[in-house]
Amino acid sequence: WLIRTVSRHYFSGASPSAARPPQVHLPYSDARWWVVPSYDDLLVTNAEGSAVTLHRRDRALFRAGMWRSIRNFRRIRNEWSTLSARYRSALDDLTSVESWRRVFDAD
């Protein structure tokens, strides 16, 4: 599924019918991560049923996002030992009640 879906999104543009109204309208409960990529465009109702979101497949946006994700993954992987050491040394500050108080009392 993953290889087929990524290949379709990466190598092929949306079908010409994508210029027409959305192919399907799904309720929030049916719009699972493995269902949405099956369509070139669709409407998804929000959880409250008070609004909808248009999801339209955009090959250029998909490609840019995929390469950005790959670059970020490589960067994290390459800097992991430094990052983990920094987080480990800051653990007490990150998890302290005072730090969380500063975050939530920022208003």
The per-residue pLDDT of the chain, averaged, comes to 87
Residues 55/36, Cβ–Cβ less than 8 Å: yes
| Chain centroid, CA 96 distance in Å | 30
Per-residue model confidence as pLDDT tens digits over 54-90: 988 888 888 999 999 999 999 999 999 999 999 999 9
Q: Which amino acid is at 7?
A: S
The candidate with the shortest Cα–Cα distance to 37, out of 16, 60, 14, 17, is: 14
Share of the chain above pLDDT 70, in %: 91
> What is the model's pTM?
0.60
Whether residue 14 is predicted with pLDDT greater than 90 in this model: the reply is no
Cα separation, 45 vs 55, in Å, equals: 11
Per-residue model confidence as pLDDT tens digits over 93-107: 999 999 999 889 866
